[in-house]
Structure 1
């Protein structure tokens, strides 16, 4: 894309990362290059870039400095974004599904005033949940009835993730066209 669109800075950054990926001691500079890229590019091209960091809390638990993952994870990597958190040209949207853990990471490594907490329920309204059931079933070509759609929505408490798990369940005897089939599939998903 960078070559095709003549975005020299992007091509240079990617080339740099590829050239240095096997060189010992270059990982900090490579991380810095990748981490600061949105802010640098926004400044260079006089554009705003929204940086979305989903499941941000995982950066403190699943990234290791050693390739064999024998050492402890590098918990300090979240701090790489400290100076970037208040960027007006590349603002950050930081999200995570483990709210307590995410807030701990943010308070420890991103003491920026521009990060504000917005809490919302992961559940849909009853009507939205029912719509999700129909959309998932249609997308995955999973047969359902109007009655079982309502049952799936109720048993899944209008949680879109749970609904998707039931619709795409690998339960061997899955039959989402009967009440018993739905109950058995939901049971399989929560107990297996």
Structure 2
């Protein structure tokens, strides 16, 4: 259902949207673990495509990828190298494109996922920073793929800069809210249902 609720349109391609699914899908990574979380999110995305009868175009298939990286990021607490490597590679891919080189400052957003691994642990473990890191990892991977597959001008990329701040801020808030909500629900369930199956952090659960 959430995959069918559009949040905002993607610039440069027709009938392509961010959906409500992006608000909470990456959270699966921290409850189920990064790899099981990725599997669950991928199955949900593929099932939605099949149910809607969507065409399996190259663009549609590529659009499945970014949220999987966000899920991995959100669910990985001790993968410092990958947390830095993934956005760094996205920056390199973007800057290798002729248009990307002219708007190099666009990629500064993609340094945000590196912050939790660079800052002291007490800051790096903050939920909102983790949520921002996940949504900008998703954006970095998506942006690196988008610039090579969808023709866009430098002015279009520049025009997106303020939109991204608003859009990704909402995505991060959505992830953080979803994480707290599910922590609260799972913490209230009987231990026999939660123990060993999912990871619950009672620090982020309302009593």
TM-score by length of 2: 0.23
Report the structure, 1 or 2, having the larger helix content: 2
Bigger Cα Rg: 1
